[in-house]
Amino acid sequence: MPGHFFDMVGFRTPDDVVYLADCLSSRETLEKYQIGFIYDVAAYLKTLETVKSLTAKIFVPAHAEATTDISELAQYNIDKVNEIGEKILELCAEPSCFENILQRLFTEYELTMNFEQHVLVGSTVRSYLAWLKDTGKLSVYFENNMLLWKQ
């Protein structure tokens, strides 16, 4: 179950209970924090698509209530990832440095910056930027010794 964090796995028990670890978040968590930690956006989306297609007697995610149908919550997580990707693209309509992108995301989502959030969300934003570059949606160049991201 790659994408959210390194070496994360889920388990299906013989009685058809699927433990999903941290691979998705509840609606409430995403509405509160907006940008969840992701280290590999492409892998995370692939994991969410796989989870969305699973069937089981019950699913037990770490950050949401147990449920008999995980597909709607998986799709909500997919939609949130895509929303943030689109927001970053909008912010890069004009060339922008990482710190400016991060600051504007915090402002757009009404988040409060502190050291911990800077590290966690900053790491995630870098993952989004790399994913958007890898998919050809963003380009990157240097100007006056500053790395700039551009749509």
Question: Are residues 23 and 61 in contact, defined by beta-carbon separation less than 8 angstroms?
Answer: yes
List, in sequence order, every residue forming a beta bridge with 139; answer none if it has no partner: 150
Q: 92 phi and psi, to 5 degrees? A: -100, 15
The 10s digit of each residue's pLDDT in 49-82 is 999 999 999 999 998 999 999 999 999 999 999 9
Measured between alpha carbons, how far is 36 from 150 in angstroms, rounded to an integer? 23
Q: Look up residue 126 and give its two tokens.
A: 């870098």
DSSP state letter for 81: H
Q: Give the model's pLDDT for residue 128.
A: 98
Percentage of the chain beyond pLDDT 90 is: 92
The 10s digit of each residue's pLDDT in 10-38 is 999 999 999 999 899 999 999 999 999 99
